């Protein structure tokens, strides 16, 4: 089983390493970056701290680097599936892990997030930094997660959330809006893609943890899928470490966060595990990112001033003087610890 997990990860990593230079050439040739740096805060005013720290860099670094991730996964999956069909009586048959019960939903979320994110990035580059409206993106995410939430409830019989050491919480049909809320929360964490190397390291740790969690729960197809994603992320990270050749941006972060939401859900009661509760530990850096944005908005509304110098939290650390590489490395350390603790808890709960 160990080889069944490691080989697809190595395959997607190798594919990513091979296609990244081609994608990089395309991104630089067509100048796939913002033509005007800076951005507005959620309230509509100028994000002064962000523009001071990051504004100029947005006009120099290509976007859409997330293509490397989802394209590597797709090519790896398609290639291994093709080999399993052509040579069914060989070792290749073991690498057909595209199953309706475990991987079809995560793959659908990966493709959906990649496509919508790609459209947003394209508009971002061609319309002076004005991508698809956030309301429109949230509408699309709500639609797809509602459909999949209904599928979980109606077709797969999921109606409860597992509670570690204390049974489960029965939600009935409310499991559908719960999945929608979970998906939107993880999508909101995609803003962690703001410093060279940061998002790649965090996502690699999280998907590695869920690879192990799926193995513990004997969801082997899902484990292999997660490992394939890890390999692709590591290939992206190879080119994203400072100074980054490209940034992940929405086509990568949306693909990964929506995929993660489905994986978290599938490793919960459906897999006789506690995937949702474990995400509070495993995905802590992502959830802390979302929390910092929410707290910033609430604090400003109540007290009329900012809680952090800048939100999300990783940019706050930059604003108070931490070098970006220090922020990245410390997030990596925290992510690895969270991943390990999450896997250990999965074996105990």
Beta strands in the chain (DSSP E): 160-162, 168-170
Quick one: what percent of the chain has pLDDT higher than 90?
78
Higher model confidence: residue 95 or residue 32? 32
256 contacts: CB under 8 Å, gap ≥ 6: 66, 69, 110, 113, 190, 203, 207, 229, 233
Range of the domain at 215: 2-348
pLDDT value for 167: 87
Question: What pTM, to 2 d.p., does this model score?
Answer: 0.94
pLDDT tens for 103-116 read 999 999 999 999 99
Q: Do 211 and 226 contact (CB within 8 A), yes or no?
A: yes
- pLDDT at residue 296 above 80? yes
Question: Comparing C-alpha atoms, which of 310, 109, 339, 306 is closest to residue 203?
Answer: 339
Structurally, the chain folds into a number of domains equal to 1
The position carrying tokens 């979970």 is 182
- pLDDT at residue 46 above 80? no
Q: What is the average per-residue pLDDT within 251-267?
A: 98
Quick one: what percent of the chain has pLDDT higher than 70?
93
Q: What is d(CA 40, CA 148) in angstroms, rounded to the nearest whole number?
A: 33
pLDDT tens for 269-293 read 999 999 999 999 999 999 999 999 9
- pLDDT at residue 268 above 90? yes
pLDDT tens for 148-200 read 999 999 999 999 999 998 889 999 999 999 999 999 999 999 999 989 999 99
């Amino acid at each position: 089983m160990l080889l069944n997990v490691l080989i697809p990860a190595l395959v997607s990593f190798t594919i990513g390493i091979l296609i990244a230079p081609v994608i990089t050439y395309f991104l630089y040739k067509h100048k796939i970056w913002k033509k005007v740096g800076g951005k507005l805060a959620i309230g509509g005013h100028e994000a002064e701290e962000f523009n001071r720290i990051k504004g100029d860099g947005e006009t120099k670094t290509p976007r859409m680097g997330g293509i490397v991730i989802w394209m590597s996964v797709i090519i790896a999956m398609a290639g291994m599936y093709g080999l399993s069909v052509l040579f069914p009586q060989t070792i290749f048959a073991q690498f057909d892990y595209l199953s309706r019960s475990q991987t079809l939903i995560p793959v659908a979320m990966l493709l959906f997030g990649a496509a919508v994110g790609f459209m947003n990035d394209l508009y971002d580059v061609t319309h002076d930094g004005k991508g698809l409206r956030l309301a429109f993106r949230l509408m699309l995410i709500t639609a797809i997660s509602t459909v999949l939430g209904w599928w979980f409830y109606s077709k797969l019989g999921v109606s409860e959330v597992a509670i570690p050491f204390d049974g489960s919480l029965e939600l009935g049909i409310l499991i559908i809006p719960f999945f929608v809320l979970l998906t939107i929360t993880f999508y909101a964490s995609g803003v962690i893609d703001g410093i060279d190397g940061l998002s790649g390291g965090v996502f690699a740790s999280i998907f590695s943890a869920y690879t192990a969690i799926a193995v513990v729960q004997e969801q082997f197809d899902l484990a292999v899928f997660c490992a394939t994603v890890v390999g692709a992320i590591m290939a992206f990270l190879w080119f994203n470490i400072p100074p980054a050749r490209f940034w992940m941006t929405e086509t990568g972060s949306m693909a990964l966060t929506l995929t993660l939401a489905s994986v978290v859900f599938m490793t919960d009661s459906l897999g006789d595990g506690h995937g949702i509760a474990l995400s509070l530990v495993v995905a802590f850096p992502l959830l802390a990112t979302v929390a910092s944005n929410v707290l910033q908005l609430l604090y400003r509304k109540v007290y009329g001033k900012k809680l952090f110098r800048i939100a999300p939290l990783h940019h706050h650390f930059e604003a108070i003087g931490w070098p970006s590489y220090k922020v990245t490395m410390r997030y990596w350390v925290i992510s690895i610890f969270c991943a390990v603790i999450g896997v250990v808890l999965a074996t105990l709960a």
